[in-house]
Structure 1
């Protein structure tokens, strides 16, 4: 399921899809069994049935919906003949909602259906039903203690001031190296055999032959990576660059590129090249600005099926003599 792959980012969408599923199932049951209500009416009708005449504000607070949403639902219930508005006998300035005789009769017929709903949910979800209810209750308590909007905005502020660091390879970052590269390869192309080999064992295929790997770290998040592959004496390949798409625009790609070029100079290399694809326009522009020059043909003996761009780095004069 695609939404599941987005994790917490799609929490609201997944909950809405789940909610719509339950609403749809309840409506199908009500219609099949001839019940005279709709599933979305239930929270308001049941609250008024249990509590008695109440204001829109009281209902909204009790069922956890906005005043506007309850007011709009009330309009539908009034048109359906299930609810009426009246002045509160104890306070003529206050309007309350009252169930009609039709609503009382309709709700009184639902006992066997509600019993079947409880049993059917238990049968369908088994132990997950109780776990889901417990999880929902825990989420509701947590949200009361700290509203989620406040928490998200605080985290965003922290991200904006977090320093972007370039750090060298460490074994704990092996999975990040694979993840960041697999992300863009799977989106634009496919993971070729050579990619899978190198990404699965970067120590053997990049570090041991004399290469280097760098990562971009934003706070606690690893958001990008790039490697310098030692091909032969003095010859290096810039390869395996990937930046998490959700963190693009922060300059991580350029910082990683600069780190690899700096390492190339420190190692006294004389040739630095890269292979890419003509469809990756933003990346190619970044390479050109960094000093890579497009070659008239693809690299002889290229290892990549996707490669139709071959570029060689031409260091500025000051870099050559630094």
Structure 2
């Protein structure tokens, strides 16, 4: 047993590749032993067209489970070998169909007895207590339900969410509130006097005026902020929403946005408004739209950089 065998599921792709390489290598030896000029990589296309007679390129791609570019590349190679030919579909001339040539049909006839023995040999190899073919069917079914990448993303998100807490602002969060917001504002915009006033005393600007501040903790470290300022009766302005650059890409912004909207509802808000900048905060505006905010006419704003106003009715 080598290190890849011991690594378990981590090396599943490497081990499958190793198995595939061994089968392909032995497959070449089998064809050579029978004086058949055929490469194992051609098998999916040749076999599919042998069974289905003719297929469009898209149908063939779906049948063999290859990406469209990979199918095209393989077809070009087989066409060069004189094993497939293309023609226009009688019902739709825009559709390109492919089929086996006379040469390929004769080759398939020659390979049939060889394929029968290959099937028997492969059955001996795979017919174990943990039947490989059954396991492959189950694995392919699982991948159709949810891809490898999507599973990774889900597991990562679950781990992130388990490490996240959204808490109400406390005095000990003052420095984090200042640092996190100053970082993103100064990176894209000019820090305005209004920014300094708000960041330096968030309790006075937000909390003492009937607002709220939420802090995102990731493994107990402050990594995000969002505030609500009471604008008028039943209307709150959402501002100072940011997530640390080092933790972006984990959907924390969306989680924070939903939390602040929920907070506004608990505080009796019937509407939440916000001001932003179309160019400098494009990603943020996309998030606001996802959260349900819609653009409304901008009449005035406290910040020079603001060029868009959005609102959400609760």
* TM, length-normalised to structure 2: 0.50
* TM, length-normalised to structure 1: 0.48
